[in-house]
Homo-oligomer: A and B are copies of this chain.
Amino acid sequence: MAGERVGNLKIVARDERSVTPQSEDFSAWYNDVVFRAELVDRGPVRGSMVIRPYGYRIWELLQADLDARIKVTGHQNAYFPLLIPQSYMQREAEHVEGFAPELFTVTHAGGKELEEPLVIRPTSETIIGEMMAKWISSHRDLPLLLNQWANVLRWEMRPRMFLRTSEFLWQEGHTAHATPADAIAETMLALDFYQDTAVETAAMASVPGEKTPRERFAGAERTFTIEAMMRDGRALQAGTSHFMGTNFAAVFGITYTGEDGTAELCHTTSWGMSTRMIGGLIMTHGDDKGLVLPPTLAPYQVVIVPIGRGEQAEATASAATELAATLRHAGIRTHVDARPQVSPGFKFNDWEMRGVPIRLELGPRDLAAGTALMSRRLSYPQPVAAKEAIPLGAAPELLATELAALQAMLTRRATEFRDDHTAVVDSWPEFVAAVAVGWALALQCGEPECEDEIKAETTATPRCIPLGGDPEQGPCVRCGKPSAYGKRVIFARAY
């Protein structure tokens, strides 16, 4: 049997390719997955990341999905310069305070020292604000709905692939409106994009909510977020949407003339989702075998491994190529692993580790029977299902159904995991126990000192006030003072 003959190779391969179990060291598991699945590599500069083709394809799929949501609602893409005069960053007081420690500064260009240093954008509110002021004059120019796909840079002391890197890719929406109500509606619309992308596309069980005042974006009046639960119980902020009020309009002079001829300040918003989302995807679905990708975002939804030697190898390889063409024609992203130098067993482990939803084995016996042997990457709540023979003629329809079922299963699993690891708590011991393994839904006083104490003792911070929560009041879970926000707050350790 091929499997036995190449036993040594398989063992070697497994050692090289396998990942640290999640339960042993979640952080080591994450690093093993991102590097061994060839999603990324370390760049030469501290905190920099190279996104390899397998990782970048996930980003492209996510980007296409989110871009369509952004465009269909009337937003238009544009592109603004990377380099911003240092003085721009300093105009909005909170904004500069928030970003100053993270800036990369360009002092020389074309061999000469610049008169005014330039900063590399950590976000584009200031430069887009400057242009909005130029483009908007009448109420007829509103709303102005812009979006940009770009790289931004923020100096990171403790970099982590996808989650915190000095450079990351993102989209940043920037809009201007006549009234606060319009701008708030836009802020919520953008939050919907993120929640829908996270749930429908990434199969995550994120919770939309509002940030508490201390967690707001630098310069915003209100910040909304979607928070997702990772499989170690921590929270990850996966997208944020900000209502700026007239803060940026006032400092950049973004005004419009109303129907009655008077000049008014615009109300602006900004919102962003980044490559960080890929880190969230990994930590939502992954397991001890490695990556688990939802079919919607999998570079390859199906991998076919042809099996056989000599003349049989030719027949199965050509059948695999033919099957792949049929599946691709049906819109299924399919890859044939025809590497001659590694065994089928190595390939099975490799694609499992790389999170491919469905594997098909195609050997001489399968071919004779007109079938392929299907394995699912994950099965839930049942243990992993056995391999299953599927008729080649019906493969496109069967696999499309399987992929949809896998997608739905991942969403269900993520939702159940989140709910199983979220506790409504009313006492401090309950709180401590809850944030050790997941999220605590608690009433809290909102006082900075109390938040600091909670963080010092548990490392948990307020993640958001969920939009859907019922009105509730009571004593603070920590200090007993009256609760703030009129609702329970999600507290968790966070990325």
List chain A positions with a Cβ less than 8 A from chain B.
41, 43-45, 48-53, 56-57, 59-60, 76-85, 88, 100-111, 117-118, 120, 127, 130-131, 134-135, 140, 146, 150-151, 153, 155, 157, 166-167, 169, 339, 341
**In the assembled complex, how far is the CB of residue A200 from the closest CB belonging to chain B, in whole angstroms?**
23
**In the assembled complex, how far is the CB of residue A66 from the closest CB belonging to chain B, in whole angstroms?**
15
| Partner pick for A120 among B106, B111, B169, B339, CB 8 A cutoff | B106
Tell me whether A79 and B50 are in contact in the complex, defined as CB-CB below 8 angstroms, given that A41-B134, A45-B118 are known contacts. yes
| Partner pick for A76 among B43, B53, B120, CB 8 A cutoff | B53
Q: Closest chain B residue to A126 by CB distance? A: B44
Q: Closest chain B residue to A79 by CB distance? A: B51
Q: Closest chain B residue to A128 by CB distance? A: B50
A130 contact set on B, CB distance < 8 A? 44
Question: Is A83 in contact with B53, judged by CB distance below 8 angstroms?
Answer: no
C-alpha gap A150/B60 in the complex (Å): 13
| Partner pick for A106 among B41, B44, B105, B135, CB 8 A cutoff | B105
Question: Is B127 in contact with A83, judged by CB distance below 8 angstroms?
Answer: no
Question: Is A101 in contact with B107, judged by CB distance below 8 angstroms?
Answer: no
A51 contact set on B, CB distance < 8 A? 78-80
Q: Closest chain B residue to A80 by CB distance? A: B50
A120 contact set on B, CB distance < 8 A? 82, 106, 120
A48 contact set on B, CB distance < 8 A? 81, 83
A166 contact set on B, CB distance < 8 A? 83, 109
Which 10 pairs of residues, A with B, have the shortest CB-CB distance?
A53-B76, A110-B155, A51-B79, A48-B81, A105-B108, A43-B81, A104-B109, A109-B155, A107-B107, A56-B78
A-B contacts, 7 of them at CB < 8 A, read A44-B127, A45-B83, A81-B167, A82-B151, A107-B108, A110-B155, A140-B341
Question: Is A167 in contact with B83, judged by CB distance below 8 angstroms?
Answer: yes
Question: Is A57 in contact with B77, judged by CB distance below 8 angstroms?
Answer: yes
Question: Is B104 in contact with A43, judged by CB distance below 8 angstroms?
Answer: no
C-alpha gap A361/B70 in the complex (Å): 30
Question: Is B44 in contact with A85, judged by CB distance below 8 angstroms?
Answer: yes
Question: Is B110 in contact with A157, judged by CB distance below 8 angstroms?
Answer: yes
A57 contact set on B, CB distance < 8 A? 76-77
Question: Is A104 in contact with B131, judged by CB distance below 8 angstroms?
Answer: no
A104 contact set on B, CB distance < 8 A? 83, 106, 108-109, 118
A140 contact set on B, CB distance < 8 A? 339, 341
Q: Closest chain B residue to A138 by CB distance? A: B341
C-alpha gap A44/B146 in the complex (Å): 19
